[in-house]
Structure 1
Amino acid sequence: MPELCVGERRWAVPTGSNLLDALNDAGLNVPYSCRAGSCHACLVRCLAGQPLDALPQALAQDKHAQGWRLACQCQVVEDLRVALFDPQQDGLPAQVCALDWFGDVLRVRLRPERAMRYQAGQHVVLWNGAVARPYSLASLPGEDDYLEFHIDCQRPGAFCDRARGLQLGDVLRLGELRGGALHYDPDWQQRPLWLLAAGTGLAPLWGILREALRQGHQGEIRVMHVAREGAGHYLAEPLREMAGVNVELVLAEQLDEALAGLRPSSRQTVALVCGAPNSVERLARWLFIAGVPRRQVFTDRFVSAL
């Protein structure tokens, strides 16, 4: 059986063992969220030996060349020496500069120790102590002097529980920044743009909406935000204040009726959809039925909170 080594610890594992499971079964508490290679919370570095990597394209070439791997996507097939991601050493410090509650949604604004280059719609892994989770950026690069995140704290979870106790001046660590499925393409300027979100799926779309307006989008812009209850429409006021944006706030129980009343004005409509998997699948299916081509529907599914 191959041998795993982390620091001074060594132990044998069955050939083909999932690397994330092998590490956590040994009590090393490697964080994870999606187990699909999407969230990047389970990043580890291989110092000697090579695992069988099912998704090498999930990481940038330079990071992959440096030995970084997503543990959830790797199988142990030979002796392997691994270093765990250390947020104190490998993460970028970022200080909490603003905290605002909107019902169960906590808006967190962070000022990183050094500027980060990113695009509206990207994700970054947030570390609060030893707990990590990926969150979409809601801020607008080049305009906001902070990074903004929207955290749904309605349900208990390791990260949410810690987030409730955050105070101004606290320092979090930023891990892997990654490209997200959603963005704004300047080539869309003349086309209808629909942004559909459920819950805090609104976070990346908030940044993308502002990016579209900054770039002078000329086509129709529609925003539909679905929430469990009225208080869940946490950006209702700033959305309604945006000139030229058609905003519809929908309660989950009224979604079927709201969708029945929407009709794309053009086959050129581009739709961005974000939220929990069930909501995204439901909205994307309706868009296809309504006549929006699949290649013009871009989706981002939020993994369940931990």
Structure 2
Amino acid sequence: MPELRVGDRQLQVAGQSNLLDALLGGGVAVPYSCRAGSCHACMVRCLSGEPLDRRPEALAADKRAQGWRLACQCQVVGDLEVEPFDPQRDGLAARVVALDWPSPQVLRLRLEPARPLRYRPGQHLVLWTEQGVARPYSLASVPGEDDWLEFHIDCRLPGAFCDAARRLQLGDGLRLGELRGGALHYDADWQARPLWLLAAGTGLAPLYGVLREALREQHQGAIRLLHVAHEAAEHYLADELQALAQQHANLQVSLVTAAQLPAALAELRLVSRQTLALLCGHPETVESFSRRLYMAGLPRSQMLADVFLPRA
């Protein structure tokens, strides 16, 4: 049986065991969320030996060269020594500079990192509490326009991170994990193309950043943003979006509830075969978006989707 070493622990594990399961079974506190290789909360660094990596493309080449692997995507096939990601050692310090509740269930959190962070709207960061709770969130801020990193945290359901986030106060510290690219972004080559931005819940966060980036780049094509929420009170950026629509004649904003979504999707009509669609939110809603767009004549190759996977 392969030996798995973590610090002073020596674990005997069955061959072909999932690395994350082996670590958790051995009492090693490795955070995890999606188990799909998307959130990157379960990163570990290989000090000796090499696991079988089922999704090597899920990590950037420079991270892999440093020995980092996603535990949820690896199998133990031989003796292996690893160290889990340590936010105090490997993360970037940040402090809370603003927090408010733009709706009853959404916390808007703004952080100031200890050093400037280069990023693009639509990317993700893993946030770590001082107690070691980790969760990935999309950036809603725009570099060069905002002096902070902004995140929209859905607190509708209980969870270790959102429960901790409810207790945050100004000046509190967090640690930032890996910055990674999501599927959503804005490309200056899209200037003249129509854009459809369809978001569910806090899936609006990355699209809000992408929208503001497009407007800052003086996007010329029509932009249509649709936000679906469980109820009207949860259109947490309604005022900001309506203000942008008043300032930009090419922007149309639609705010619908879950009950109104089928009718709103049925009304979507493709006006140009050059249209691009960016979709974000719960997997079922994103699938509803993409299915309707495909039926309206939009090729799937012109849809960029980012799903918020529920915790496994």
TM range (shorter): over 0.9
What per-residue deviation string (whole Å, max 9, x for no partner) do you get for residues 215-238 of structure 1?
Answer: 110000100000000111000011
Cα distance in 2 between the residues matched to 1:241 and 1:196 = 18
2:110 — aligned with what?
109
2:197 — aligned with what?
195
SS in 1 for 2:271: coil
SS in 1 for 2:20: helix
Picking from 276, 284, 291, the partner of 1:285 is 291
1:53 — aligned with what?
53
Instruction: State the identity as a percent.
Output: 67
Aligned: 1:298 with 2:300? no
Give me the TM-score of the superposition, normalised by structure 2.
Answer: 0.97
Shift of 1:26: 1.2
Cα distance in 1 between the residues matched to 2:229 and 2:210 = 20
1:31 — aligned with what?
31
SS in 1 for 2:143: coil
The unaligned stretches of length 5 or more in structure 1 are none
1:93 — aligned with what?
93
- For 1:65-214, what aligned pairs fall within 5 Å after superposition? 65-101=65-101, 102-128=103-129, 129-214=131-216
Picking from 252, 257, 260, the partner of 1:254 is 260
Give me the TM-score of the superposition, normalised by structure 1.
Answer: 0.99
What per-residue deviation string (whole Å, max 9, x for no partner) do you get for residues 17-65 of structure 1?
Answer: 0000000111112111111111100000010111011111111112111
The runs of at least 4 consecutive aligned structure 1 residues that moved more than 2 Å come to: none
Cα distance in 2 between the residues matched to 1:262 and 1:84 = 46
Aligned: 1:215 with 2:224? no
The RMSD of aligned alpha carbons is 0.9
Residue type matched to 1:26 in 2? G
Cα distance in 2 between the residues matched to 1:62 and 1:277 = 30
SS in 1 for 2:294: helix
1:3 — aligned with what?
3
Shift of 1:305: 4.7
Q: For the structure 1 residues 86 and 113, does the alpha-carbon distance in structure 2 shift closer, same or farther, using more than 3 Å as the test?
A: same
Shift of 1:187: 1.2
- For 1:223-262, what aligned pairs fall within 5 Å after superposition? 223-242=225-244, 243-244=248-249, 245-262=251-268
Cα distance in 1 between the residues matched to 2:215 and 2:240 = 14
